[in-house]
């Protein structure tokens, strides 16, 4: 029983960041129809930006976090501007492959600049965990959960409550009509990719201090993000948020009660099962975003 | 009417195809000639990119220190030694290709490599094909020295040897029941099997055997399971990054049991730096004692190596990996000197007469594996250390 | 023969023939350089993988990013058939298999990969686009994790070692084991040529038209009575079986395999070969395979390992920007305008289709049907 409780607490903590990873990816797919293979690299960049901001710039943990997120925003905008904008109108395969190429460049660049030795980000949180009866949880992870939920809430608000969000929703439904109605679709695309990227960077900046920071950290995160997005239905933000928690639960219970070797297989098995029985994802593709 | 148009289209394809074949063949057939007077080339096949990049780079840096030291002292057989360093990208296919390149293209008569066990195993058929010996500096899979490849000479301990060295300490520490959490590869699973076998013989109960994938960052699910077990000790085999994560996550889960790590890749200084207090009280089986040079088998050499390492601006934490590269190249140099030649077959034979004190014990090869095709296995010292208050101490047993 | 020499057929048929001749002559000069021969063999094996991928990606338009699964399944099945195994499959049932000759392993590897292609085809062709991409990636990852964790069968991360080399011949009649590099090189070249001819035949056939119809306009294809799922599934089976053949060659050549054969990076390499060379063309994956397979060999001596990867990524991006259709159609486009000046304009597609027929005719003896059945292949435009 205690073990189950601990698994459930772990699920909650892990699920928050999974959701964050998934939302960024699904947002980009939903609005731009681009499968973003730089998502993992941007996650890694977020973690390294956090590391640099804390250690080299001495910004302090709580200032470094928004700095890293901002860095992801800028980097995402740059990638969109340089690589995706000229390819507008190309088929999904071409953009996907360009993103794969960009992902390779970013990941190898990180290895080149920082070397392969993992870095650790110092945090202001106490080492001793918080004990709640039979379960324990570290303060840092509690903070990460809180920050992830706050960012998810912010994204939600941005899409549903702002003019930019309105334009994004219009573009999601029909970009031609949106353009006719006076929406600057090019700007919306750049904004969307930048926001999606900043969410990936935020996940990296939050999880970098929890784990360690190294150049290959994005690979597994990216595959997990794909699983989450499929689970929730491509382009479905609410679905991705819920998908994040479902994946975390499946992994925890899979490792806890089946076999730890298959822990990382859970996400993929879920994908295959979902596609076999409900090809549009558990929550179907939303007719409208948000 | 169409005739003139034939020309431009056929010529490029003809030239492209035949030109590719003949041109490549001509250009590439003339590889570097195996000079008898130039430097003696030693192949180094290590992971410099991919998941093992950090460790492979450490080993290469250690190897460079040895090569520079040997050259400063006049080289071997009156010739300088030159390391031909190639990246195997942490990938077995690439490791085999690199071995092929080093042997056939760079004409290295002897090599060192290839860090991970699956990398080394992939290289081994090439050694037999080209009858070229290789010194294995890090890999720990038992298979490497038991599969009947007489071109393999290993200075790192296979996990069975490590378990054997640990056996006398079992009762002194007071182990009753042990759970394992190991990296899901040959190294981790091999260690779990060998240690479990030894512990069972000693009457210690074996509980769970959990695995974590290479590159996995979140082990809280496995740890939650271990937390619920009634074992008193957790034995861990993995690389330093995962150990750091495990210690942090164990402390976050309030999992307080005796922890012993194996495998010799722990890098305690990096653990102390990155896991902080979470690593306090953990026990580690290591093959090198850089913290106490005076207690190592060859204090002078250890002090020299550590000083040189620091002088070159490398992180101190790296020495627990890089010393193998240093010892490996010194072993190879001695084999070449004893062979009195750069002929691969004579170097191979000379490995059997290598005998000197390396940084982690006497380097002297014993026969291992099926009769007639034995591999060489040296038996390094193994030490148990504890991390205490951010320092490495040697527990009294 | 006169048909072969007819001007309309000559140029396109010559490129593959000249390339084949060049590749066949290569070992004469390279026997002294086993490293390059080795690089060519592994490149050749990956190129076969790329050709099989092209059947799906180029001719049906389905971007399968899990292609490595079929390659790996071919490798594992082939290796296990020739090594033997003894596993418990649950409920106390044990399956014991004595080692068989490696050639049977090859055939079983091809068959098993084809079967998996059928299964995955049935499952994943219900979805298209990004869903298809992700379901194929997931499949490859699941297979990798099974290979990693089913230790009793696959030795998991301990790797399958001591895989015998492939041999030809029948038991009792004497056999010939392919041990040397040159022998393996010609084996790979032969299998590659066979796959090429098979794809050329297939693409030029009625079935090929159905595939391309689905790619160009699915609803239109459906309305003229093309069975989408059936067509795609057959393409997937053939494609997977070929990838399995490549995997089997890989296992018996390298003589060790571990779950890393399933890594996503290898699929990416194959995709780069196809797209870089020209998807939906017969020669594309071959040219792309040679270029991108040998690029790392060329870069190795001149730059740091991390930089090699960066260049690899940049070259991929550059090709997509400069020659989005790939090298082969891109370069052909540079030559064609001069032709067009003298010859009446013909659809670009004639080339591949015509040369498919010529090729099959040249190699399989006089095959009147091969020609009659040949239809123009759309070079993607």
Spatial CB neighbours of B155, under 8 Å, sequence gap ≥ 6: B135, B136, B137, B324, B327, B328, B331, B358, B363, B378, B380
Report the distance separating Cα A177 and Cα A174, nearest Å.
6
Displacement of CA A128 from its chain's centroid (Å): 28
Pair of tokens at residue B397? 């047993």
Q: What is the pLDDT of residue B265?
A: 65
Contact A76, A32 (CB under 8 A): no
C331 interaction partners in chain B (CB closer than 8 Å):
12
In this structure, the number of other CB atoms found within 10 A of the CB of residue C267 comes to 23
Tell me the per-residue pLDDT of B115-156, one tens digit each, with 9 for 90 and over.
988 889 889 988 998 899 999 999 888 889 998 999 999 999
A83 interaction partners in chain C (CB closer than 8 Å):
317
Contact B184, A264 (CB under 8 A): no
Q: What is the pLDDT of residue C312?
A: 84
**In chain B, where are the structural domains located?**
40-157+297-377, 160-286
Q: Which of A117, A114, A121 is nearest to A209 (CA)?
A: A121
Task: Using a CB–CB cutoff of 8 Å, tell me whether B273 touches chain A.
Answer: yes
Q: What are phi and psi of C129, to 5 degrees?
A: 60, -135
C266 interaction partners in chain A (CB closer than 8 Å):
none
Select, from the ranges B57-61, B85-89, B239-243, the one with the highest average predicted confidence (pLDDT).
Answer: B57-61
Q: Which CATH class is domain B160-286?
A: alpha beta
Q: What is the pLDDT of residue C174?
A: 56
3-state secondary structure B350-366: HHCCCCEEECCEEECCE
Tell me the per-residue pLDDT of A144-194, one tens digit each, with 9 for 90 and over.
999 999 999 999 999 888 888 888 888 888 878 888 888 888 899 999 999
B186 interaction partners in chain C (CB closer than 8 Å):
156-159
Asked if B40-157+297-377 and B160-286 have one fold, the answer is yes
Displacement of CA B18 from its chain's centroid (Å): 44
Instruction: Please list, residue by residue across B276-312, b when 16 or more beta carbons sit within 10 angstroms of its beta carbon and e when fewer do.
Output: bbbbbebbbbbbbbbbebeebbbeebbebbbebbeee
**CB-CB: which of C14, C149, C151 is closest to B13?**
C14
In this structure, the number of other CB atoms found within 10 A of the CB of residue B119 comes to 32
Q: What are phi and psi of B276, to 5 degrees?
A: 60, -135
List the end-to-end C-alpha distance of chain B, in Å, as a whole number.
97
Contact A121, A209 (CB under 8 A): yes
Give C377's DSSP letter.
P
**CB-CB: which of B8, B96, B104 is closest to C33?**
B104
Contact B169, B285 (CB under 8 A): no
Spatial CB neighbours of C140, under 8 Å, sequence gap ≥ 6: C65, C66, C67, C68, C69, C72, C262, C264, C267
Q: How many helices (H) and strands (E) does chain B have?
A: 13, 16
Report the distance separating Cα B330 and Cα B304, nearest Å.
14
Q: What is the pLDDT of residue B153?
A: 96
Per-residue pLDDT of chain A (290 residues; tens, 9 = 90+): 678 888 888 888 889 989 999 999 999 988 888 888 999 999 999 999 999 999 989 888 999 999 999 999 999 999 999 999 998 878 777 888 899 899 999 998 998 898 777 888 888 888 788 888 788 888 888 999 999 999 999 999 998 888 888 888 888 888 788 888 888 888 999 999 999 999 999 999 999 988 888 888 888 888 888 888 888 877 888 889 999 999 999 888 888 887 777 777 777 777 777 777 766 666 655 445 54
Q: Which of B171, B242, B228 is nearest to B203 (CA)?
A: B171
Report the distance separating Cα B15 and Cα A233, nearest Å.
52
Report the distance separating Cα B272 and Cα C330, nearest Å.
56
Tell me the C-alpha to C-alpha distance, in Å, between residue C1 and each of A208, C6, C352, C366, C367. 68, 9, 19, 9, 12
Interior angle at CA C221, CA C215 and CA C222, nearest 5 = 120
In the block, residue with structure tokens 């003139």: B4
Chains in contact with B, where contact means 3 or more Cβ–Cβ distances below 8 Å, are: A, C
Partners of B43 in beta bridges = B84, B111
Residue B15 has pLDDT above 50, yes or no: no
Pair of tokens at residue B363? 């380097």
Report the distance separating Cα A111 and Cα A246, nearest Å.
32
The CA-based dihedral angle spanning residues B41, B45, B49, B50, taken in that order and rounded to the nearest 10 degrees: 180
Q: What is the pLDDT of residue B195?
A: 94
Q: Cβ contact (<8 Å) for C10 and B6? A: yes
A118 interaction partners in chain B (CB closer than 8 Å):
54, 240-241, 244, 274
Beta strand ranges found along chain C (DSSP E): 85-88, 94-97, 160-161, 167-169, 175-177, 256-257
- Does residue A179 sit in helix, strand or coil? helix
Q: Which of B134, B167, B141 is nearest to B156 (CA)?
A: B141
Give B30's DSSP letter.
-
Q: What is the pLDDT of residue C205?
A: 84
Q: Cβ contact (<8 Å) for C316 and A109? A: no
Average pLDDT of B323-328?
A: 95
* % of chain B with per-residue pLDDT over 70: 90
HSE-CB for B180 with a 13 A CA cutoff: 22
List the end-to-end C-alpha distance of chain A, in Å, as a whole number.
37
Q: Cβ contact (<8 Å) for C29 and B186? A: no
Q: Quote ipTM for the complex.
A: 0.86
In this structure, are strands B283-286 and B356-358 parallel, antiparallel, or unpaired? unpaired
A129 interaction partners in chain B (CB closer than 8 Å):
251-254
* % of chain B with per-residue pLDDT over 90: 49
**In chain C, where are the structural domains located?**
2-373
Q: What is the pLDDT of residue B277?
A: 84
Chain A interface residues (partner B, CB cutoff 8 A): 2-3, 6-7, 10, 13-14, 108, 111, 115-118, 120, 127-129, 131, 136-138, 140-141, 207, 210-212, 214-217, 219-220, 251-252, 254-256, 260-261, 263-264
Partners of B363 in beta bridges = B356
B270 interaction partners in chain A (CB closer than 8 Å):
117
Q: Cβ contact (<8 Å) for B211 and A108? A: no
Report the distance separating Cα A188 and Cα A93, nearest Å.
21
Q: Which of B244, B263, B191, A270 is nearest to C157 (CA)?
A: B191
The radius of gyration of chain B's CA atoms, rounded to the nearest angstrom, is: 24
Q: Cβ contact (<8 Å) for A276 and C145? A: no
Q: What is the pLDDT of residue C169?
A: 57
Report the distance separating Cα B67 and Cα B81, nearest Å.
7
Displacement of CA B296 from its chain's centroid (Å): 20
Q: What is the pLDDT of residue C338?
A: 52
Q: How many Å is the maximal CA-CA distance in chain A? A: 59
Between B241-250, B341-350, C166-175, the lowest mean confidence (pLDDT) is in C166-175
* A-C contacts (CB, under 8 Å): 119
Pair of tokens at residue C233? 């599934």
Between B11-15, B377-381, C262-266, C324-328, the lowest mean confidence (pLDDT) is in B11-15
Q: Cβ contact (<8 Å) for B217 and A117? A: no
Tell me the per-residue pLDDT of B151-190, one tens digit each, with 9 for 90 and over.
999 999 988 999 999 999 998 888 999 999 998 877 888 8
Q: Which of A143, A138, A141, A142 is nearest to A126 (CA)?
A: A138
Partners of B235 in beta bridges = B180, B260
Q: What is the pLDDT of residue C326?
A: 82
Q: Which of A105, A117, A266 to mutate to test the interface with C (most CBs of C within 10 A)?
A: A105
Q: How many helices (H) and strands (E) does chain C have?
A: 17, 6
Residue of B nearest to A261 (CA): B211
The CA-based dihedral angle spanning residues B339, B342, B347, B353, taken in that order and rounded to the nearest 10 degrees: 20
Tell me the C-alpha to C-alpha distance, in Å, between residue C160 and each of B184, B214, C75, C153, C260. 15, 19, 10, 10, 12
Distance from CA of C26 to the nearest CA of B (A): 5
Task: Using a CB–CB cutoff of 8 Å, tell me whether A277 touches chain C.
Answer: no
Q: How many Å is the maximal CA-CA distance in chain B? A: 97
List the end-to-end C-alpha distance of chain C, in Å, as a whole number.
32
Q: Which CATH class is domain A2-122+138-277?
A: mainly alpha
Q: Cβ contact (<8 Å) for C30 and B25? A: yes
Q: What is the pLDDT of residue C241?
A: 94
**CB-CB: which of B12, B89, B185 is closest to C157?**
B185
**CB-CB: which of B53, B215, B221 is closest to A255?**
B221
B210 interaction partners in chain A (CB closer than 8 Å):
260
Contact B342, B77 (CB under 8 A): yes
Per-residue pLDDT of chain C (381 residues; tens, 9 = 90+): 444 444 444 445 677 777 777 777 777 676 667 778 888 888 999 999 999 999 888 888 777 888 899 999 999 999 888 888 777 776 777 777 777 877 888 889 999 999 998 888 877 776 667 777 777 888 888 888 888 878 778 877 777 877 888 776 555 555 566 667 778 888 888 899 899 989 888 888 887 787 777 777 777 777 777 777 788 888 889 999 999 999 999 988 888 888 888 887 788 888 888 988 888 888 889 988 988 888 888 887 778 777 888 888 898 898 888 888 888 888 777 766 554 444 444 444 434 433 433 333 333 333 333 333 333 333 333
Residue B365 has pLDDT above 80, yes or no: yes
Report the distance separating Cα C12 and Cα C356, nearest Å.
9
Q: Cβ contact (<8 Å) for A97 and C271? A: yes
Partners of B210 in beta bridges = B181
Tell me the C-alpha to C-alpha distance, in Å, between residue B17 and each of C14, C280, C291, C356. 9, 21, 13, 18
Q: Cβ contact (<8 Å) for A111 and C306? A: yes
- Does residue C364 sit in helix, strand or coil? coil
User: B40-157+297-377 is classed in which CATH architecture?
Assistant: 3-Layer(aba) Sandwich (3.40)
Residue of B nearest to A259 (CA): B210
Spatial CB neighbours of C49, under 8 Å, sequence gap ≥ 6: C67, C68, C71, C242, C243, C246, C247, C270
Residue of C nearest to B3 (CA): C7
Q: What is the pLDDT of residue A117?
A: 75
Confidence of residue B33 (pLDDT cuts 50, 70, 90): very low
Q: Cβ contact (<8 Å) for B273 and A261? A: no
Interior angle at CA C24, CA C19 and CA C29, nearest 5 = 110
Tell me the C-alpha to C-alpha distance, in Å, between residue C275 and each of B125, C56, C325. 34, 12, 7
Q: What is the pLDDT of residue C23?
A: 76
In the block, residue with structure tokens 């496995």: B222
Tell me the C-alpha to C-alpha distance, in Å, between residue B135 and each of B115, B236, B325. 11, 27, 10
B183 membership: H or E segment, kind and range: strand B177-183
Q: Given its phi and psi angles, is residue A58 left (phi above 0), alpha (psi -120 to 50 degrees) or beta?
A: left
Interior angle at CA A262, CA A260 and CA A264, nearest 5 = 100
Q: Cβ contact (<8 Å) for C131 and A275? A: yes
Write down how long chain B is.
Answer: 397
């Amino acid at each position: 029983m205690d073990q189950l409780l601990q698994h459930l607490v772990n699920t909650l903590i892990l699920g928050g960041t999974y959701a964050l990873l998934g939302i960024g990816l699904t947002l980009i797919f939903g609005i731009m129809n681009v499968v973003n293979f730089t998502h993992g690299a941007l996650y890694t960049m977020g973690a390294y930006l956090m590391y640099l901001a804390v250690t080299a710039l001495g910004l302090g943990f709580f200032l470094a976090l928004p700095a890293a997120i901002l860095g992801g925003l800028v980097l995402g905008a740059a990638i969109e501007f340089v690589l995706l904008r000229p390819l507008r109108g190309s088929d999904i395969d071409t953009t996907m492959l360009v993103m794969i190429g960009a992902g390779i460049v970013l990941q190898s660049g990180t290895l080149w600049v920082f070397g392969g030795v993992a870095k650790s980000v110092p945090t202001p949180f106490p080492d001793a965990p918080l004990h709640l009866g039979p379960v324990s949880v570290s303060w840092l992870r509690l903070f990460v959960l809180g920050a992830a939920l706050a960012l998810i809430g912010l994204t939600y608000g941005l899409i549903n409550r702002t003019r930019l969000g309105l334009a994004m929703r219009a573009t999601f439904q029909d970009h031609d009509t949106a353009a006719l109605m006076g929406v600057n679709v090019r700007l919306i695309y750049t904004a969307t990719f930048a926001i999606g990227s900043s969410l990936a960077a935020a996940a990296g900046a939050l999880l970098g201090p929890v784990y360690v920071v190294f150049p290959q950290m994005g690979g597994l995160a990216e595959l997990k993000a794909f699983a989450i997005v499929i689970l929730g239905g491509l382009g479905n933000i609410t679905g991705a948020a819920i998908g994040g928690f479902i994946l975390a639960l499946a992994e925890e219970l899979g490792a806890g009660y089946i076999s730890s070797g298959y822990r990382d297989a859970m996400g993929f098995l879920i994908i295959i099962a979902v596609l076999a029985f409900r090809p549009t994802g558990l929550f179907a593709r939303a007719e409208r975003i948000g | 009417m169409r005739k003139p148009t034939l020309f431009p289209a056929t010529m490029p394809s003809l030239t492209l195809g035949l030109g590719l074949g003949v041109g490549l063949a001509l250009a590439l057939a003339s590889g570097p000639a195996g000079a008898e007077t130039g430097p003696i080339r030693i192949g180094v096949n290590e992971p410099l990119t991919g998941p093992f990049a950090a460790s492979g780079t450490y080993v290469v840096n250690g190897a460079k220190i040895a090569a520079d030291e040997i050259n400063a002292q006049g080289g071997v057989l009156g010739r300088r030694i030159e390391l031909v360093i190639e990246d195997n990208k942490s990938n077995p296919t690439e490791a085999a290709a690199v071995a092929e390149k080093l042997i056939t293209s760079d004409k290295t008569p002897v090599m060192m490599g290839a860090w991970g066990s699956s990398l080394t195993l992939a290289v081994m058929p090439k050694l037999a094909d080209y009858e070229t010996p290789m010194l294995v500096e890090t890999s720990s899979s038992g298979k490497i020295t038991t599969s009947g490849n007489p071109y393999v000479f290993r200075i790192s301990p296979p996990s069975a040897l490590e378990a054997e060295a640990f056996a006398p300490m079992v009762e002194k520490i007071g182990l009753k029941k042990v759970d394992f959490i190991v990296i899901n590869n040959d190294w981790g699973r091999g260690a779990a099997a060998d240690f479990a076998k030894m512990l069972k013989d000693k009457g210690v109960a074996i509980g769970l055997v959990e695995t974590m994938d290479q590159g996995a960052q979140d082990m809280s699910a496995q740890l939650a399971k271990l937390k619920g077990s009634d074992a008193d000790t957790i034995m861990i085999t993995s690389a330093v990054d995962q150990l750091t994560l495990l210690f942090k996550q164990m402390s976050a889960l309030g999992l307080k049991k005796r922890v012993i790590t194996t495998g010799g890749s722990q890098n305690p200084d990096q653990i102390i730096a990155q896991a902080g207090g979470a690593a306090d009280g953990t026990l580690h089986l290591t093959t090198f004692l850089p913290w106490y040079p005076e207690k190592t088998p060859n204090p002078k050499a250890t002090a020299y190596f550590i000083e040189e390492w620091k002088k070159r601006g490398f992180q101190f934490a790296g020495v627990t990996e890089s010393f193998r590269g240093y010892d490996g190249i010194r072993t190879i140099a001695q084999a070449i000197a004893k062979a009195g030649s750069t002929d691969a077959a004579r170097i191979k034979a000379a490995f059997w007469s290598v005998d000197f004190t390396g940084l982690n014990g006497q380097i002297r090869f014993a026969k291992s594996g099926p009769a007639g095709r034995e591999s060489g296995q040296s038996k390094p010292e193994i030490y148990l250390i504890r991390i205490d208050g951010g320092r490495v101490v040697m527990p009294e047993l | 023969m006169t048909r072969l020499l007819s001007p309309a057929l000559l140029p396109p048929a010559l490129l593959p023939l000249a390339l084949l001749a060049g590749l066949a002559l290569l070992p004469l000069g390279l026997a002294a350089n086993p490293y390059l021969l080795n690089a060519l063999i592994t490149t050749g094996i990956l190129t076969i993988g790329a050709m099989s991928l092209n059947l799906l990606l180029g001719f049906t338009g389905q971007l399968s990013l899990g292609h490595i699964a079929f390659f790996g399944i071919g490798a594992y099945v082939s290796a296990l058939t020739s090594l033997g195994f003894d596993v418990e499959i649950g409920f106390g049932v044990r399956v014991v298999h004595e080692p068989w000759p490696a050639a049977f392993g090859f055939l079983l590897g091809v068959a098993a990969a084809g079967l998996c292609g059928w299964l995955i085809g049935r499952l994943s062709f219900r979805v298209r686009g990004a869903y298809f991409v992700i379901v194929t990636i997931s499949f490859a990852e699941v297979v990798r994790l099974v290979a990693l964790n089913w230790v009793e069968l696959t030795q998991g991360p301990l790797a399958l070692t001591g895989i015998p080399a492939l041999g030809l011949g029948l038991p009792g009649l004497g056999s010939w084991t392919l041990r040397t590099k040159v022998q393996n090189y010609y084996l790979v070249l032969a299998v590659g040529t066979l796959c090429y001819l098979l794809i050329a035949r297939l693409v030029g056939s009625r079935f090929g038209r159905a595939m391309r119809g689905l790619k160009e306009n699915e609803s239109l294809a459906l309305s003229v009575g093309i069975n989408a799922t059936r067509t795609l599934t057959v393409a997937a089976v053939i494609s997977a079986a070929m990838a399995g053949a490549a995997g089997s060659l890989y296992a018996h050549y390298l003589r060790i395999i571990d779950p890393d054969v399933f890594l996503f990076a290898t699929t990416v390499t194959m995709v780069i070969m196809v797209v870089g060379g020209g998807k939906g063309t017969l020669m594309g994956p071959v040219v792309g395979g040679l270029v991108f397979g040998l690029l790392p060999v060329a870069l190795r001596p001149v730059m740091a390992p991390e930089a090699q990867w960066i260049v690899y990524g940049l070259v991929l991006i550059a090709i997509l920007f400069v020659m989005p259709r790939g090298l082969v159609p891109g370069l052909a486009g540079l030559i064609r305008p001069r032709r067009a000046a003298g010859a009446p304009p013909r659809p670009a597609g004639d080339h591949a289709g015509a040369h498919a027929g010529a090729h099959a005719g040249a190699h399989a003896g006089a095959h009147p049907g091969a020609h009659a059945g040949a239809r123009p292949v759309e070079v993607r435009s």
